[in-house]
């Protein structure tokens, strides 16, 4: 049985977050956590917390099942653009440049490989 966790309005561009999301998509949970823990990119910290939250949500849904024996993996992860804050930066000769501060929404689903084989 799959579990979902969502991160809303995280203030980094979706493009930067997608680099990490593509890195962990389809990985086993333990390997994905290690990858995020040792990644040098700054969005890896909230993505790691989000993955831990999804694991905790899976535990609540599947009481009595051990996480280690369930063989959890990252089933789905996707990054959508969030709200964009528009700011103005001063420019020469009385002009102004638009500064777009982007944010994103991340959704992650974890599932056990054992339950996938039972349904097939």
Q: What does pTM read for this prediction?
A: 0.88
DSSP 21-76: HHHHTT-BHHHHHHHHHT--STTHHHHHHHHHHHHHHHHHHTTT--HHHHTEEEEE
DSSP state of 119: H
**Per-residue model confidence as pLDDT tens digits over 10-67:** 999 999 999 999 999 999 999 999 999 999 999 999 999 999 999 999 999 998 788 7
In the prediction, which pLDDT does 66 show? 81
The yes-or-no verdict on residue 1 having pLDDT over 90 is no
Task: Name the CATH superfamily, with its identifier, for domain 3-119.
Answer: Ribosomal protein L22/L17 (3.90.470.10)
- Sequence-ordered list of residues with C-beta below 8 angstroms from that of 116, at least 6 positions apart, any chain: none
Max distance between CA atoms of the chain, in angstroms, equals 68
**Per-residue model confidence as pLDDT tens digits over 59-117:** 999 987 887 778 899 999 999 999 999 999 999 999 999 999 999 999 999 999 875 66
In the prediction, which pLDDT does 19 show? 95
Pairing of strands 72-81, 3-10: unpaired
In the prediction, which pLDDT does 111 show? 94
| Beta carbons within 10 angstroms of residue 101's beta carbon | 12
The yes-or-no verdict on residue 118 having pLDDT over 70 is no
DSSP state of 112: E
């Amino acid at each position: 049985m799959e579990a979902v966790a969502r991160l809303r309005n995280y203030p980094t561009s979706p493009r930067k977050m997608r680099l990490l999301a593509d890195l962990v998509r389809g990985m086993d949970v333990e390997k994905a956590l290690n990858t995020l823990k040792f990644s040098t990119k700054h969005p890896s910290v909230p993505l790691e917390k989000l993955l831990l939250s999804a694991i905790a949500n899976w535990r609540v849904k599947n009481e009595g099942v051990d996480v280690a024996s369930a063989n959890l993996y990252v089933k789905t992860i996707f990054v959508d653009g969030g709200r964009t804050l528009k700011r103005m930066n001063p420019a020469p000769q009385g002009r102004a440049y638009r500064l777009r501060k982007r944010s994103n929404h991340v959704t992650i689903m974890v599932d056990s490989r054992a339950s996938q084989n039972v349904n097939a």
